[in-house]
Amino acid sequence: MQYKNFQRGFILLAVLIFTLLPACDDNDPSVNAGRLRVKLTDATDVTIKELYLQIQEISVYATDTANAEGEWIKLEYNGGEYDLLKLLNGRQVQLSEQYFPAGKSIQSIRLVFGHDSRIETITDKTHALHFPPEIVEGAVIDLIEPITIRPNIISGIVIDVNAALSVRESNGNYFLHPVVRAFPEAYGSSLRGYISPPPREINAVSFVAIIRDPDTLLTYPDADGMFLFPGLPKGSWEVHLVANPTTAYTDTAFIWNIDTTGIVDITPRPIRMPRAFN
């Protein structure tokens, strides 16, 4: 099986959850407001040993459902640095939580990155991540589907940054050119599978990739062999299990059709990696 220009990457997911709560009095900040939580998760990178992403500011672009004009709303967030490779296959860390006005439609999200963002490669070298001029003041991500905050409804938004295309090397310098998807938390499906033998026994798989034009997404299986890709539209996906070349196993690939929402499990469970012929 051949792979062209197959860079290795991670998936950064920030989940914004809007929880609408009943009001108590006129001074209560929850009056006609939603509770907003921001969480961060990741699917790992296979050439980068560590990836520290510093986020300084998070804003959302919201329009009033009664008025098409919108505004950027800065979230209550003090900034932070996150080792994305500690967040894998659904693991999350909360970034922010606050009340948010009901009756708003969220169209876009803006992330401002800090200049202490950096990577450590598998050769144990640390490199600063540089930013192109167009994202110095923030990377803007339009939602695949805008989300409207409604009373007594919990809503969420997921941000998916694909480092397979986002982190680029040039003359020994590393640059962040974010390739990002953003979608409602309830959007699409999650594709889940299990690999045998699991990494806790032998590291038979270098990485798992799924492909459906225009998307190529990558992850590692966890110690028990589980891998998961969230936020996928219905349709047929190529699933590639790329074997560790230092083992006796070989690559395998197949097509899996997603025809429902929620978690879609690949069968058989587990998927047994084929051995290479001598």
Q: What is the pLDDT of residue 213?
A: 92
pLDDT over 70 (residue 190): yes
| 126 and 175 co-located in one domain | yes
What is the mean pLDDT of the segment spanning 246-252?
94
pLDDT over 70 (residue 38): no
| 45 and 106 co-located in one domain | yes
Question: What average pLDDT does the structure give for the chain?
Answer: 81
| 91 and 126 co-located in one domain | yes
| 52 and 166 co-located in one domain | yes
Residue 261 included in any domain: yes
What is the mean pLDDT of the segment spanning 165-194?
86
pLDDT over 80 (residue 169): yes
What is the mean pLDDT of the segment spanning 102-114?
91
pLDDT digits (tens, 9 = 90+) for 131-167: 999 999 999 999 989 988 877 777 778 877 776 667 8
What SS3 string covers the chain? CCCCCCCCCCEEEEEEEEEECCCCCCCCCCCCEEEEEEEEEEECCCCEEEEEEEEEEEEEEEEECCEEEEEEEECCCCCEEEEHHHCCCCCEEEEEEEEEECCEEEEEEEEEECCCCEEEECCCCEEEEECCHHHCCCEEEEEEEEEECCCCCEEEEEEEEEHHHHEEEECCEEEECCCEEEEECCCCEEEEEEEECCCCCCCCEEEEEEEECCEEEEECCCCCCEEEEEEECCEEEEEEEEECCCCCECCEEEEEEECCCEEEECCCCCEECCECCC
pLDDT digits (tens, 9 = 90+) for 52-66: 889 999 999 999 866
Last residue of a domain, one of 158, 184, 210: 184
More confident residue, 23 or 12: 12
What is the mean pLDDT of the segment spanning 90-94?
72
Report the b/e string of 64-81 with b at 16+ CB within 10 A: eeeeeebeeeebebeeee
The parent domain of residue 102 ranges over 11-24+32-184
Q: What is the pLDDT of residue 76?
A: 85
Residue 5 included in any domain: no
Q: What is the pLDDT of residue 119?
A: 87
What is the mean pLDDT of the segment spanning 25-33?
56
Last residue of a domain, one of 184, 202, 231: 184
What is the mean pLDDT of the segment spanning 56-85?
86
Q: What is the pLDDT of residue 8?
A: 37
Task: Select from 36, 72, 275, 73 the least CA-distant residue to 156.
Answer: 36
Residue 224 included in any domain: yes
Residue 166 included in any domain: yes
CA angle 120, 123, 125 (to 5 degrees): 45
| 70 and 118 co-located in one domain | yes
Q: What is the pLDDT of residue 99?
A: 76
The answer to whether residues 76 and 58 touch, using CB atoms and an 8 Å cutoff, is: no
| Whole-number percent of the chain with pLDDT over 90 | 41
Which residues partner with 20 through β-bridges?
34
Of the pLDDT bands very low, low, confident and very high (cuts 50, 70, 90), residue 30 is low
Last residue of a domain, one of 161, 184, 207: 184
Q: What is the pLDDT of residue 103?
A: 85
Q: What is the pLDDT of residue 197?
A: 95
Q: What is the pLDDT of residue 166?
A: 75
Residue 57 included in any domain: yes
Q: What is the pLDDT of residue 208?
A: 92
Residue 278 included in any domain: no
How many residues would you count in the chain?
Answer: 278
Q: What is the pLDDT of residue 4?
A: 36
What SS3 string covers 101-113? ECCEEEEEEEEEE
- The answer to whether the bond into 133 is cis (omega within 30° of 0) is no
Of the pLDDT bands very low, low, confident and very high (cuts 50, 70, 90), residue 41 is low
- Chain position carrying tokens 């197949």: 254
The answer to whether residues 179 and 168 touch, using CB atoms and an 8 Å cutoff, is: no
Residue 1 included in any domain: no
Structure token pair of residue 124: 């144990």
Q: What is the pLDDT of residue 39?
A: 60
| 52 and 153 co-located in one domain | yes
* Spatial CB neighbours of 108, under 8 Å, sequence gap ≥ 6: 60, 61, 140, 141, 142, 143, 182
pLDDT over 80 (residue 205): yes
Q: What is the pLDDT of residue 21?
A: 37
Specify the number of domains making up the chain. Answer: 2
Q: What is the pLDDT of residue 149?
A: 83
pLDDT over 90 (residue 201): yes
